[in-house]
């Protein structure tokens, strides 16, 4: 593992069905994640994905690359832009790329991610710390 190494890109689709399943698992039943009328009434363009769902799906790029999710030590981000999920079978396409950005004094690798929806970044400063 070297600084600059790139992870294989990942594309994930988020569908309304996934939003319902995630709401049940997380107990986050905020209507912005399932009710178009409510979401648009509060100023959103449509139903949006849960930020933590977007984060979790994006983290797959790291765990898939590592082959052992136990090597993931930390994962953090900021939620900067919503992922709008249309009411169709295709859902919203989220594109994730990553590379090794640094090695820490503790021997961990920092993985810097870029997470985009419709060509725009949706997570701010997503980073993972991993054991090489």
pLDDT in tens, 102-124: 999 999 999 999 999 999 999 99
Q: Judge whether 95 and 26 are in contact, CB under 8 Å.
A: no
Q: How many CB atoms lie within 10 A of CB 86?
A: 14
Average pLDDT across the chain, whole number? 97
pTM exceeds 0.85: yes
pLDDT in tens, 65-81: 999 999 999 999 999 99
| Cα angle: 111, vertex 113, 116; to 5 degrees | 170
Phi, psi of 24 (to 5 degrees): -65, -40
> Residue 127 in 3-state DSSP?
strand
pLDDT band at 35; cut points 50, 70, 90:
very high
């Amino acid at each position: 593992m070297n600084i600059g190494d790139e992870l294989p890109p990942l594309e994930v689709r988020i569908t309304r069905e996934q939003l319902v399943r995630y709401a049940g698992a997380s107990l986050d039943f905020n209507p912005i994640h399932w009710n178009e009328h409510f979401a648009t009434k509060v100023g959103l363009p449509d139903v949006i994905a849960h930020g933590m769902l977007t984060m979790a799906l994006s983290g797959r790029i790291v765990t898939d690359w590592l082959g052992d999710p136990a090597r993931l030590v930390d994962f953090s981000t900021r939620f900067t832009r919503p992922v709008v999920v249309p009411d169709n079978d295709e859902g919203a396409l989220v594109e994730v790329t990553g590379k090794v950005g640094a090695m820490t004094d503790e021997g961990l690798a920092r993985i810097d991610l870029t997470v985009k929806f419709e060509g725009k970044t949706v997570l701010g400063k997503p980073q993972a710390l991993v054991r090489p």
